[in-house]
Amino acid sequence: LELCSKEMKRSDLIFRQLFDTSGSSTYTYLLGDPASKDAILIDPVLEMVERDLAVADDLALKLKYVLNTHCHADHITGTGAIKKLRPEVKSMISRASGANADIYLLPGEKVCFGERYVEVRATPGHTDGCVTYVSQDNGGMAFTGDALLIRGCGRTDFQQGSPETLFDSVHSQIFSLPETFRVYPAHDYKGRHHSTVLEEKTLNPRLTKTKEEFKSIMDNLGLPYPKKIDAAVPANMVCGIQD
Amino acid sequence: LELCSKEMKRSDLIFRQLFDTSGSSTYTYLLGDPASKDAILIDPVLEMVERDLAVADDLALKLKYVLNTHCHADHITGTGAIKKLRPEVKSMISRASGANADIYLLPGEKVCFGERYVEVRATPGHTDGCVTYVSQDNGGMAFTGDALLIRGCGRTDFQQGSPETLFDSVHSQIFSLPETFRVYPAHDYKGRHHSTVLEEKTLNPRLTKTKEEFKSIMDNLGLPYPKKIDAAVPANMVCGIQD
Ligand SMILES: [Fe+2]
Ligand SMILES: [Fe+2]
């Protein structure tokens, strides 16, 4: 048993963070279990599917599940395109998202790949169906989607957005994680790749404020209408392109 | 002593990979020692200096050295701008580069920050002065500049380039590292963040070839004249903007 647990520790998670170079600045995450070669992919982008599959193939990984953190409004998910190319892959999204997928996730559930898993945490507020996927590997990682960005957060003025709900989600579900856990967001527009729970708890200019101040900030962002929302949301409700 | 070595292992390297969103697709690397807070920055880009210093400041790091892997032709280094803002910072580049810096590095030397260091390996061929910085942290990391890119390598048709020299550099200085070492290049144009020595030894479409085939590939790339070379190289010979 002692040997077994050491063995498990020795085989580190295979982990790749991938950036959408086609314009949406989305991060896609590939997580693989070296023993079984089972892998999951979080938030793939339609235009980058070929790249994503090449990275997985080069590492000899067997892609098992494609997960979305939420129904994205800024890009079309690669989920449908991947399922077309790899019919054995199953798609996953939260039940609360209302979007189509092979498997609907509920808070507290674990998505297993080999000896590893990510845990589903409900973090609504940017959309009703937003979740954060939490891994215990690499000292702890939270894939926060648009709920928590590096020194920011997703907007709350579309797609059932609610600043109060988002504030509560981040504080109860993400800031409650150990402070050393890394935060891996769905986007960064300044070329930063990750942050930590401690950093966001202490330095996030929005989420270090009171709930009332946070609501006031979010209600007064004055952002333009999302460019791709009218095309992206209907497509993402059915897993992206899937003719 | 036993306790001490455990203590050292517990305090992981502070590490951030940062992407140039202004157009050159350059990766800048921040490495910090958590005990002393001493830090180094590899290959900063002029347009991203403010971002880089903010990331270091947020992590309470004391920037000690700015290192360049070589005299870049595709962007202006942020080195001079950082030295202007933070006069205590010293710049470093290889002696063989012929470029100006506060400290000139020779192969085999170690650049120390706190309890940690990166080792200088000469990897000429893209330019005469190209070096790879090797860290023993995080299971081993090689910052390869343009000598070795993910599934590629830097061009050899400008700046004293030589395919034969580059082939020998990569094989003797990078492929000789443990296969699990991560490869962190100066650029990637497909949104990939790192690779491993094993991957490049087995999957790099150029460097898995014979030296003769490699030379033939490199001599027939037919690439356009580098857009920024006439502005970037003279500036980088004197550490970037430094009026
Ligand atoms: Fe979103
Ligand atoms: Fe270069």
Mean pLDDT by 10 residues, chain A (243 residues): 44 96 97 98 98 98 98 96 97 97 98 97 98 97 98 95 98 98 98 98 98 98 93 91 61
CB contact under 8 A, B193 and A16: yes
Q: What is the pLDDT of residue B6?
A: 44
Average pLDDT for B186-197: 98
Dist CA A177 CA A186 (whole Å)? 18
Considering CB atoms only, which of B51, B58, B139 is closest to A191?
B51
Q: Is B25 left (phi over 0), alpha (psi -120 to 50) or beta?
A: left
With a cut of 0.90, is the ipTM above it? yes
Q: What is the C-alpha end-to-end distance of chain B, expressed in Å?
A: 49
Q: What is the pLDDT of residue A5?
A: 46
Query: Quick one: which ligand is closest to A158's CA?
Result: 1
Q: What is the C-alpha end-to-end distance of chain A, expressed in Å?
A: 49
Q: What is the pLDDT of residue A11?
A: 83
Residue B239 binned pLDDT confidence (cut-offs 50, 70, 90): confident
Residue B11 binned pLDDT confidence (cut-offs 50, 70, 90): confident
Q: What is the pLDDT of residue A80?
A: 96
Q: What is the pLDDT of residue B3?
A: 41
Instruction: For residue B170, give the DSSP letter.
Output: I
Q: Are B170 and B153 in contact (CB under 8 A)?
A: yes
Q: Are B215 and B164 in contact (CB under 8 A)?
A: yes
What is the CA(A132)–ligand 1 centre distance, in A? 12
Which residues are registered as beta bridge partners of A63?
A39
Distance, CA of A124 to chain centre: 13
The strand order across the sheet containing B62-67 reads B14-19, B27-32, B38-42, B62-67, B90-94, B103-105
A73 interfaces chain B, CB cutoff of 8 Å: no
Whether residue B9 is predicted with pLDDT greater than 60 in this model: the reply is: no
Q: What angle do CA A183, A186, A187 make, to 5 degrees?
A: 100
Dist CA A160 CA A191 (whole Å)? 28
Min Cα distance A237 → chain B (Å) is 26
Query: Quick one: which ligand is closest to A75's CA?
Result: 1
Task: Say whether B100 sits in a helix, a strand or coil.
Answer: coil
Q: What is the pLDDT of residue B5?
A: 46
Q: Which residues of B touch A21 (CB under 8 A)?
A: 189-191
Find the largest Cα–Cα distance for chain A. 57
Q: What is the pLDDT of residue B4?
A: 39
**Hey, what amino acid is at B203?**
L
Residues around ion ligand 2, judged by CB within 5 A, are B 72, 146
More confidently predicted of B177 and B239: B177
Q: What is the pLDDT of residue B240?
A: 87
Which residues are registered as beta bridge partners of A87?
none
Q: What is the pLDDT of residue A10?
A: 52
For the ranges A95-99, B9-13, B41-45, B155-159, the lowest mean pLDDT is seen at: B9-13
Query: Quick one: which ligand is closest to B153's CA?
Result: 2
What is the CA(A126)–ligand 1 centre distance, in A? 7
What is the CA(A187)–ligand 1 centre distance, in A? 9
Q: What is the pLDDT of residue B7?
A: 46
pTM of the predicted structure, to 2 decimals:
0.94
B2 interfaces chain A, CB cutoff of 8 Å: no
